[in-house]
Amino acid sequence: MTQPTSFAFLRALGARTINAVWRLGFATRFLLATVRHTPAAFRRLPLTMREIYFAGVLSLTIILVSGLFVGMVLGLQGYDTLARFGSSEALGVLVALSLVRELGPVVAALLFASRAGSAITAEIGLMKATEQLDAMEMMAVDPVARVIAPRFWGGVISMPLLGALFTATGILGGYVVGVVMIGVDVGQFWSQMQAAVDFREDVMNGMIKSFVFGIAVTWIAVFEGYEAPPTAEGVSGATTRTVVTSALVILALDFVMTAFMFHGVR
């Protein structure tokens, strides 16, 4: 079947589309297989514990330090703007709401994707490149149960906790700058914050965001690692794709969830 070369562009487009749909379908089946192996991840708890250690505990430094600085910057910038309207007491509200609703979950997820997601992809990709996954299959050990599921659940469990820690340190950072350094009234700072921040509306929705981002980022990370071409170049490409895709998915999902969660709140 010979075709004119002018169809090359269309053929390339078709191949890309088919490839994209195929990857999406494969990623979904891969996620289902991972979820089906959930009992294995929790039956062999030390494996999952180890992954929580690598994804969560080792991300603590970057999450806590970034959270503190984001909160401190919010305190400085927020005070600068609010002071123009003579309402610098609302600083607590500004810092808390922006962190709890948006910055906490989103920035923590972006950091998590670049810190833990890339590590997961590189590790699994290298396991595949050095044929460790094939060796497991030879020994009748399912690599999805032994390697993928613990990493997936380690990431999913770590992410909401990291998000909460980011938000909490951010608020403390805003407190340090606003109250300790600038001198906003401490009672006003906390009481206005407590009056404005709703537990269900703001804190719970922020946690739901964190949880969804955790699933998305870890899913992308394990899938890219599992799907990486077994070469040095392939693993490096997969690691890059994990960070880029995660960032895009986090921001897009954040928009969708914000539209649903805070649309009715006027």
Partner 1 sequence: MNRTTIDLWVGIFVAMGLAALVFLSFQVANLTGGTSGETYTLVARFDDLGGLKVKAPVKSSGVVVGRVADVSFDNNTFQAIVKFKVEQRYQFPLDTSAKILTSGLLGDQYIGLLPGGDPDNLKDGDSIELTQGAIVLENLISKFLFNATTSGDGKDKEKGKDTKAAATADEFEE
Binding site for partner 1 (CB under 8 A): 46, 49-50, 52-53, 56-57, 60, 96, 100, 158, 160-162, 164-165, 167-169, 171, 190, 193-195, 197-199, 202-203, 207, 266
Residue 247 CB coordination number (10 Å): 17
Reported as type and span, the H/E element at residue 237 is: helix 232-261
Burial (Cβ within 10 Å: 0-12, 13-18, ≥19) of residue 32: exposed
Q: From the CB of 118, what's the least distance to partner 1, in Å? A: 20
Q: Which is nearer to partner 1, 164 or 249 (CB)?
A: 164
Decide whether 109 or 162 has the Cβ nearer to partner 1.
162
Going by the DSSP 8-state scheme, the letter that residue 157 receives in this structure is: H
To the nearest whole angstrom, how small is the minimum distance from the Cβ of residue 17 to partner 1?
42
Our CB check for partner 1 shows the closer of 9 and 199 to be 199
**Amino acid identity, residue 40?**
A
Closer of 186 and 248 to partner 1 (Cβ): 186
Give the nearest distance from C-beta 137 to partner 1 in angstroms: 26
Q: Which is nearer to partner 1, 23 or 50 (CB)?
A: 50
The nearest distance, CB 124 to partner 1, in angstroms, is 19
205-228 as b/e: b if 16+ CB within 10 A: bbbebbbbbbbbbbbbbbbbbbbb
**Smallest separation (angstroms) from partner 1 to the CB of 3:** 58
The least distance separating partner 1 from the CB of residue 262, rounded to whole angstroms, comes to: 13
In angstroms, the CA 256 to CA 12 distance is 31
Whole-angstrom CA distances from 39 to 35, 62, 100, 144 are: 9, 31, 32, 12
Least distance in Å: CB of 101 to partner 1? 12
Structure tokens at 139: 């020994």
In angstroms, rounded to a whole number, what is the distance separating the alpha carbons of residues 110 and 121?
15
**Type of residue found at 74:** L
Q: Which is nearer to partner 1, 71 or 223 (CB)?
A: 71
Tally Cβ neighbours within 10 Å of residue 184. Answer: 25
Taking the least distance from each CB to partner 1, the nearer of 207 and 228 is 207
- Helix then strand count (H, E) for the chain reads 13, 0
Q: Which of 14, 197, 219, 216 is nearest to 124 (CA)?
A: 219
